[in-house]
Amino acid sequence: MMSRELATTDTTSAINFDRELQWGDVNFISTTDTHGWLVGHQKSSFPEPNYSGDFGDFASFIHWMKQKAVEKDVDLLLVDSGDLHDGNPTTDAAVEKGEVNGARSGNIFAQIPYDALAANVANISQDVHYNFAPKWNGRYLTSNVNITVTVNGVNTSVPIGERFTKFTTRKGRKVTAFGVLFNFTGAASNVKVQDPVAMINETWFNEAIVEEPDFFLVLGHMPVQGSNSQFAAIQARIRSLHPHVPVFTFGGHDHIRDCLQYDGRSIALSAGRYMETIGWASSTLPAPNTTDNLVVSRRYIDANRNSYAWHTKRDDVFDTKVGINITQQLQNVVSFYNVSTPLGEVPQDYYLNRSPYGANDSLLTVLANQVLPTAIVDANRTNPKIVIVNSGSQRFDLYQGPFTDGDNYIVSPFVNLFNYVELPNRVASKVLNALITGNAPRRRALEEAGEYDNSDGAFERAQRRAWENYVRAGAAHEDTAKRDLELKARSANSTLTLGYVTEDKCPGLGDDTLHNPIPYSSDIPTYISSPNPVGLADEDPVDLVFLDFFAPTIAKFVNQIDPTLNLTTAVFKTYGPTSPSSEVLGTDNMWGKFVAKAWNN
**Concatenated DSSP letters of 124-143:** -SHHIIIIIGGGGTT-EE-T
Q: For residue 476, is pLDDT > 60?
A: no
Q: Where are the alpha helices (DSSP H) in 209-268?
A: 231-241
- For residues 169 and 471, the model is more confident at 169
The count of other CB atoms within 10 Å of the CB of residue 403 is 23
pLDDT value at 54 more than 70: yes
Contact (CB, 8 A) for 303 and 257: no
DSSP state of 370: I
Determine the pLDDT at residue 4. 53
* Mean predicted confidence (pLDDT) in 10-23: 64
Residue 74 burial (CB count, 10 A): 18
The answer on pLDDT for 12 being more than 90 is: no
Topology match between the domains 22-331 and 342-442+526-598: no
Residue 455 binned pLDDT confidence (cut-offs 50, 70, 90): very low
Q: Which CATH topology does 342-442+526-598 take?
A: 5'-nucleotidase;  domain 2 (3.90.780)
pLDDT of residue 142: 97
CATH number of 22-331: 3.60.21.10
- The whole-number average pLDDT for the span 469-493 is 68
Average pLDDT over residues 8-25: 65
Share of the chain above pLDDT 90, in %: 83
Q: Contact at 8 Å (CB) between 248 and 217?
A: yes
Look at residues 71, 56, 51 and name the one whose alpha carbon lies nearest to residue 7: 51
Q: How confident is the model at residue 187 (pLDDT cuts 50, 70, 90)?
A: confident
Cα dist from 553 to 239, 376, 394, 445, 529, whole Å: 46, 20, 19, 11, 15
Q: Are strands 191-193 and 164-168 parallel, antiparallel or unpaired?
A: unpaired
| Averaged pLDDT of the chain | 92
Inter-axis angle of helices 55-72 and 321-337, to 10 degrees? 160
pLDDT band at 7 (very low <50, low <70, confident <90, very high): very low
Identify which of 525, 548, 554, 531 has the alpha carbon closest to the alpha carbon of residue 386. Answer: 531
Q: What residues does each domain of the chain span?
A: 22-331, 342-442+526-598
Q: How many CB atoms lie within 10 A of CB 534?
A: 6
> Left (φ > 0), alpha (ψ -120 to 50) or beta: where does 576 sit?
left
Is the pLDDT at 1 greater than 80? The verdict is no
pLDDT for residue 236: 98
Residue 362 DSSP symbol: B
pTM reported for the whole predicted model: 0.93
Residue 123's pLDDT is what? 77
Report CA torsion sign: 18, 22, 27, 30: negative
